[in-house]
Structure 1
Amino acid sequence: MAYQPATSPSEWPKWIQRLLNRGWPTRVYLAVESRSGFPAHESPRFSLCLAGTGQYTVLRQQKRQIITLKRGDAIVAAPGAHMEPHRPSRYLALGLVFTPSMTRLLLAKQSRGRHRFLQAHHDSTVLDSDGHHFFEALYHRDSAPPEDLAARRLVELLLLKSADIASRTDITKQATRKGHFTWQAACQFLEDHLHQPLGRQEVADFLHIHPNHVSRLFHEFSERSFQDHLLHARLRRARSLMADPSLNITDIAHACGFRDANYFIRCYRRVTGETPGRQRTRNNSTW
């Protein structure tokens, strides 16, 4: 089976149906534990390995564990759960992310330590209550073996939900508000990757647009430039992490994508007028 990126929303349902016809997923692994101070997606998501061998680092009883996915295997992560691709692995995967404002269908490739998105479809239709109940049922099967039939069926239902969302895309409506929706997708990408080095080019590569278009989107739809939006997003994340007394300033800086603690402190003081240490005692303050 050849895995060609879907070039239009109408192709995603057919592509997903072909995966289901193969009896996939064959195994389902779960990531439900979070790790204090480490960045994590705030929305439910899962990944289905299409080719190669995928590896993800998750937590089991607060200890790091590597999960190895073979072709046809899936891994499901709860909101806030620690799950990240293991760099040495090489694979092609279908990813589904269900945020409060959109559904994201992704075709991703991991090779030579680099994670790339070959194709991404963002849909303004969000997962319904039934879909979220399917996720909740999955989280309760954390102790079940990967071959657990119930877990496999629940992921199949989520794949069908995703195909249905893509099939009901209102092209006219999407085109009318395409710029604003693309900007929302860019903002969501930044939130999901704040702990990594980020710039216009990374966002442009993900959305398959020119970096100058990224700047235009933020100029049109945001109160801030791209760089200012990114900085304030990092600082918002930092402020939430400062509520955890077990994290030191260096931990927080790295978790929010700052290259070192001193740079983080300078940025924080420039925006807020005080140091992170002083801010920790003023949890109800704003900027």
Structure 2
Amino acid sequence: MPDAWLPADQQFFADLLSGLVLNPQQLGRVWFAHTLAEPPAGSLCLEQPRLDVVLRGVYGNRLIAAQKAIRQGEMLFLPAQAATMPIFEPPVMLLSVVFAPSWLGLAFQAPGHGLPAKKVDIPHPERGECTAMLMALTHLSASAQDQDIIQPLVLSLLRWCRKVASSPPQPGISRKDFLYRSICHWVQENYAQPLSRESVAALFTLSPNHLSRLFSQQGTLSFVDYVRWVRMGKARTILQKYHLPVAEVARRCGYPDSDYFSRLFRRQFGLTPGEYRARFL
């Protein structure tokens, strides 16, 4: 019976994770994405580790030939900063889990199945258990053939995720604050995508006006200003670490127009992207 005290979307993921950990025989091989010095255009690279679980159909990572057909029950683990170029053909149902230091991001996608996507970020107090498992998996990514060790470790990680998803929201965090944090975390992970007030509001089942009110009440920046603040921060990090053309930096930060990106960057930091990067050469 569903736990009445859990928000509906959180209950959905708690049930989904329960189905996985209670039927471990349905889980298969764990694949590993690679960390690349310069991820190619169109790839997805997150700062936090991520686990993709194929619930139905066939999923793929275009960057690695052996991973172009990851089948039902198999999983793809991405260490922090690893890159992937997802393939969603043929139709697939996918559970994605992002492991951040103080929150757990859960996303359900079903391209081609006509089912609505779901997304929730759950704050949690990290006690070290999850960090230890993620470190072990990252280390084992260099010896991915040790599936007898890797698969039980991933199962333990999924059990931990189930425990977090099945826990009621922390006391003292209002629903508005929880929702605001969830949206902020989502923007931090998806800043490179085309983002609009309408598209993000729809993802979190809000009206655009409700989203605007949420940011004005819970934060210090409007939604549009927050997106720009996140993107500019990411751009600054990329310019410090990588010698990429400004147009590519702009694209990776969600700006197809590099001139517009440069104007925004100079307005915020007082330097052009090129002038800023020159400080670190």
TM over 0.5: yes
Greater strand share, structure number: 1
Q: Does 1:30 align with 2:32?
A: yes
Q: TM-score, normalised by structure 1?
A: 0.83
Q: What CA distance in whole angstroms lies between the structure 2 residues aligned with 1:189 and 1:146?
A: 33
SS at match of 1:157: helix
Instruction: Give the equivalent residue in structure 1 for 2:109.
Output: 108
Change (3 A) 1:189 1:51: same
Q: TM-score, normalised by structure 2?
A: 0.85
Deviation (angstroms), 1:117: 6.2
Q: Does 1:216 align with 2:213?
A: yes
Counterparts of 1:175-214 in structure 2, within 5 Å, are: 176-214=173-211
User: Contact 2:9/2:119 (CA < 8 Å) preserved in 1?
Assistant: no
Q: What CA distance in whole angstroms lies between the structure 2 residues aligned with 1:11 and 1:242?
A: 40
Q: What CA distance in whole angstroms lies between the structure 1 residues aligned with 2:264 and 2:161?
A: 40
The more displaced of 159-168 and 50-59 is: 50-59
One-letter amino acid matched to 1:55: G
Counterparts of 1:10-25 in structure 2, within 5 Å, are: 10=11, 12-20=13-21, 21-25=23-27
Change (3 A) 1:236 1:67: same
* Structure 1 residues not aligned, in runs of 5+: 1-5
User: Contact 1:56/1:83 (CA < 8 Å) preserved in 2?
Assistant: yes
Instruction: Give the equivalent residue in structure 2 for 1:169.
Output: 168
Instruction: Give the equivalent residue in structure 2 for 1:248.
Output: 245
SS at match of 1:139: helix
Q: What CA distance in whole angstroms lies between the structure 1 residues aligned with 2:276 and 2:164?
A: 43
Q: What CA distance in whole angstroms lies between the structure 1 residues aligned with 2:146 and 2:93?
A: 21
Change (3 A) 1:110 1:147: farther
1:10-69 deviations in Å (ceiling 9; x for gaps) = 55444323223151321100124134367621112201101111112446xxxx874421
Q: Does 1:275 align with 2:268?
A: no
User: Contact 1:235/1:268 (CA < 8 Å) preserved in 2?
Assistant: yes
One-letter amino acid matched to 2:61: Y
Greater helix share, structure number: 2
Q: What CA distance in whole angstroms lies between the structure 1 residues aligned with 2:242 and 2:159?
A: 43
Instruction: Give the equivalent residue in structure 2 for 1:95.
Output: 96
Counterparts of 1:71-90 in structure 2, within 5 Å, are: 71-90=72-91
Q: Does 1:41 align with 2:38?
A: no
1:93-118 deviations in Å (ceiling 9; x for gaps) = 11211212311222112339x9x862
SS at match of 1:47: strand
Q: Between Structure 1 and Structure 2, how many residues are aligned?
A: 270
Counterparts of 1:116-127 in structure 2, within 5 Å, are: 118-127=117-126
CA RMSD, aligned part only?
A: 2.7
Change (3 A) 1:126 1:207: farther
Deviating beyond 6 angstroms after TM superposition, the runs of 4 or more aligned structure 1 residues are: none
Deviation (angstroms), 1:89: 4.5
* Structure 2 residues not aligned, in runs of 5+: 1-6
The more displaced of 11-20 and 21-30 is: 11-20
One-letter amino acid matched to 2:33: A
Change (3 A) 1:131 1:273: closer
User: Contact 2:59/2:92 (CA < 8 Å) preserved in 1?
Assistant: yes
